[in-house]
Each structure stands twice: as C-alpha cells, then as structure tokens.
C-alpha cells in the first residue's frame, strides 16, 4: 500500500456498506509480500480504514486501524512481543483483538478490544472474510497454484465494483466485441449446475457459495489463428472452465481438453468504485524447456493484452452496480448477479 493511496482515501468519509454492495465472501486484503513481519501497515479495505500486522507466528491479523482508546492510528504503532502496540498510550493488542496491557493499569477493561476479521494466508495473498463474524465457507482451494508451474500475477486498481469485475468472466459476448476474438464458429456459455462438473479447477466449493460456467469455442481464426497455428497452439476446441465463490474465481483454460493454464481472479474492495483486480496465473510445466518458455510468453501476453483491454472499460464504467437491459446472451451475467446479490443479503456487517 502506498502512502498516496492512504492519503486520498483518508480524505473521504467512511463508506456505507450499501454503497459497496459487497457479498459475504473471501477477499484479498493484500499480497503476502506487502505485509512485513515486523511492522504494521495501514490498509483501506471494505471502505474502512484498517491495519494489518503479523503476530509471533507471522500469522496475519486484520483489525480496525484506530485504537479504541483515543483513536490513534495503530498503523503507526510497533509490534512488541507478538502484540500490536499503539503509538499514543502504548496499549497492546493480541492477535485475537483483545487488549492485553495498558501501562500503569492492572485490570484491563474487558471492552478494550478490537474486532478482528477472519484471515487466511494462501497462494501468496492475505485473505480476509467479510460479511459475518465467522466465515460461512472455507477459502476455496486452487491446487494448480501450489504446483511447480511457472506463474505471474497482476494487481490493477480499477474504478469498477467487485461485481462488475467478476461478472466479466460470465460474459461471452465481450470476448468478440471488446477483445476482438475471432473463432471458426460460435462461442457458447453454459451455466453449470453441479460443482463436480468443475473438478478440473479443484475440490468442490461449498454448495451454496458456488457458481460456475463453461465457455467453449472452436479454433481461432484471424490473426490469433495465424499466431496459434505457428506456435502449434491452435486446437479444435477451446474451453474456459470458470467456477468460484461470490468474490473470486478459479479459471482453467483448456485446448482440446489439455490444461494450458489456471488463473485465479479475486478482488480487494478499497472503497466505493475503487477495487483492485488481482490475477494470479500458473502454467503447468511439460518438461520441454523451450516449449514451456514459448507457452509462458504466449499466455502471459494474451492475458496481459486482454486485461489491458478490460481496464479502460472498468475505469470508466457506470459507478455502482446498476442493472442493465439484458438480452438472452447475457444469461451468464444475469445468473451470476442473482447469485452475488443473494450473498450480499447473507452479510450482516460486522463492526469495523
């Protein structure tokens, strides 16, 4: 988190939950490497000022940024024996949020505590649960990201909402119009009804939270057709297997049934209409060095170009999550929006 982002968020009033339209879910609080072991960092997340730090076991902790005593920023504090110490009066907080020491005071008031967010660290990210005091489902697994594949990741701050970023995967028509995808035939989306149909993405996701679809298209035509033929990467049938929870997705890209890469798409909702889109990609190794390298370069370029085409749309899109005028090819987006909104309803905002 840069200082600049901190400053421009601090100037704004705290956002209400309604403005953010957030589903109860797992979100990325920050990439793991942004959270040092020995000092707390200020985070803006869910429209709230928060502080993240690591306890003695280096486990991440996420709590409201301001000390319940006199309101000083705990992000300016220090980590002392696995506790976060406020810079103002040296109150100390444990990873549970409980205040454990107040200089000169023997009995710490029971109400001297910070609510903490449920947190998990995985795939190189610190994940935070939002919406209820306890998570309603565990963070879904993405085995491909723990293999020995080559990988890369992007994080782009956008002016879109979480819902707009995630529904994009269920929108087949923008692939032709925005991304200029030309294929020899048609591009079809099928909304899945059984989590087991998405098992190539990983172990099934908790039933209620799960949503998935398959996008399929025949061989590439046009310029991409020429490039993929030359790379021998064209195929008779391409499949994008998308599944996920309301605020994140696992996506496997297959050519004639062979996995080409697995992509994680998730978000950090900073403030209304200010969301970081996180993309993390793992490309499996075949063992053939040059072939793997060519595949890596090709997929990286492809994903980066596509993401660079989406970002200007996200950065100028209509603020908020208004509904649109739908046509029948928008079925995937409409169904996902319904699913997402059902999980917005499940959230009972926790103190923060």
Partner 1 sequence: MIERWRRAQTSPAVPAEQRDLPASWYIALRSQELAFRPRPLQLFGRLLVAWRDRGGQAVVMPRHCPHMGASLALGKIVDGCIRCPFHHWRFDASGTCVEIPGIERIPVIARQSVYPVVERYGFVWVWYGSAAPLFPLPAFPALDVDRDRYMAYQFSDATPATVRQVLENAYDHHHFVTLHGVRAAQPLTLTMLSDQDAARDNGPPIAADAWSGAVLECPMLEPPAVLRALGMTPRRFRVLIDGWPAGQRFTFFVDDRVIARELLGVTPIGPGQTVQRGWAMIEKTGARWRDALFYLVYHVQHRAGTRQDLAIYRSASSEVPGVPVKYDRGVIKFREHYRRWVARAGAERDHRSDRSGADRKGAAE
Residues at the site binding partner 1, with contacts judged by CB under 8 A: 5, 31, 124, 151-159, 164, 171, 173-174, 176-178, 271-274, 312-313, 315-320, 322-331, 333-334
Integer Cα distance of 94 and 80 in angstroms: 10
Pick 274 or 339: Cβ nearer partner 1: 274
Query: Shortest distance, CB of residue 305 to partner 1, whole angstroms?
Result: 13
Contact 276, 156 (CB under 8 A): yes
Pick 40 or 332: Cβ nearer partner 1: 332
Query: Shortest distance, CB of residue 312 to partner 1, whole angstroms?
Result: 6
Integer Cα distance of 197 and 239 in angstroms: 13
Distance of CA 15 to the CA centre of its chain: 20
Contact 240, 261 (CB under 8 A): no
Query: Shortest distance, CB of residue 202 to partner 1, whole angstroms?
Result: 19
Query: Shortest distance, CB of residue 303 to partner 1, whole angstroms?
Result: 11
Pick 188 or 194: Cβ nearer partner 1: 188
Residues in Cβ contact with 307 at an 8 Å cutoff, skipping those fewer than 6 apart: 154, 156, 277, 279
Query: Shortest distance, CB of residue 5 to partner 1, whole angstroms?
Result: 7
Question: Which region, left, alpha or beta, applies to residue 70 given φ > 0 means left and ψ of -120 to 50 means alpha?
Answer: alpha
Q: Which residue has the tokens 């406020």?
A: 86
Tokens of 196: 């087991």
Dihedral of CA atoms 193, 194, 199, 205 in degrees, nearest 10, equals 100
Integer Cα distance of 86 and 90 in angstroms: 5
Pick 158 or 201: Cβ nearer partner 1: 158
Query: Shortest distance, CB of residue 215 to partner 1, whole angstroms?
Result: 15
Pick 56 or 338: Cβ nearer partner 1: 338
Integer Cα distance of 257 and 263 in angstroms: 16
Contact 79, 87 (CB under 8 A): no
Query: Shortest distance, CB of residue 254 to partner 1, whole angstroms?
Result: 23
Integer Cα distance of 245 and 266 in angstroms: 10
Query: Shortest distance, CB of residue 14 to partner 1, whole angstroms?
Result: 16
Contact 54, 79 (CB under 8 A): yes
Residue 192's φ and ψ, nearest 5 degrees, are: -85, 155
Compute the Cα dihedral for 230, 299, 310, 139 and give only its sign: positive
Pick 228 or 273: Cβ nearer partner 1: 273
Pick 257 or 312: Cβ nearer partner 1: 312
For residue 12, how many other CB atoms are within 10 A of its CB? 12
Query: Shortest distance, CB of residue 338 to partner 1, whole angstroms?
Result: 11
Pick 59 or 335: Cβ nearer partner 1: 335
Pick 18 or 318: Cβ nearer partner 1: 318
């Amino acid at each position: 988190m840069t200082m600049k982002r901190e400053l421009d968020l601090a100037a704004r009033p705290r956002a209400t939950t309604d403005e953010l339209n957030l589903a109860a879910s797992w979100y990325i609080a920050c990439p793991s490497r942004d959270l040092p072991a020995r000092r707390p960092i200020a985070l803006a997340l869910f429209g709230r000022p928060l502080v993240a730090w690591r306890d003695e076991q280096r486990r991440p902790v996420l709590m409201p940024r301001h000390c319940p005593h006199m309101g000083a920023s705990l992000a300016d504090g220090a980590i002392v024996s696995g506790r976060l110490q406020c810079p103002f009066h040296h109150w100390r907080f444990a990873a549970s949020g409980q205040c454990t020491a107040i200089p000169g005071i023997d009995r710490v008031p029971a109400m001297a505590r910070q609510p903490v967010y449920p947190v998990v660290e995985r795939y190189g990210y610190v994940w935070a649960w939002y919406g209820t005091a306890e998570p309603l489902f565990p963070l879904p697994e993405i085995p491909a990201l723990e293999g020995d594949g080559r990988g890369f990741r992007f994080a782009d701050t956008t002016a879109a909402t979480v819902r707009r970023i995630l529904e994009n995967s269920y929108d087949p028509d923008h692939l032709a119009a925005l991304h200029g995808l030309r294929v020899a035939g048609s591009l079809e989306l099928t909304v899945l009804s059984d989590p087991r149909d998405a098992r190539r993405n990983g172990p099934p996701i908790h039933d209620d939270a799960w949503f998935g679809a398959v996008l399929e298209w025949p061989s590439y035509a046009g310029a991409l057709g020429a490039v993929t033929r030359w790379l021998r990467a064209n195929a008779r049938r391409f499949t994008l297997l998308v599944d996920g929870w309301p605020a994140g997705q696992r996506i496997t890209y297959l050519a004639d049934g062979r996995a080409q890469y697995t992509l994680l798409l998730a978000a950090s909702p900073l403030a209304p209409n200010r969301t970081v889109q996180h993309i993390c990609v793992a490309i499996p190794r075949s063992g053939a060095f040059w072939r793997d390298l060519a595949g890596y370069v090709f997929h990286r370029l492809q994903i980066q170009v596509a993401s660079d085409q989406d970002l200007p749309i996200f950065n100028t899109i209509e603020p908020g999550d208004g509904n649109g005028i739908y046509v029948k090819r928008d079925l995937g987006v409409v169904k996902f929006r319904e699913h997402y909104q059902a999980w917005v309803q499940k959230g009972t905002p926790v103190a923060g």
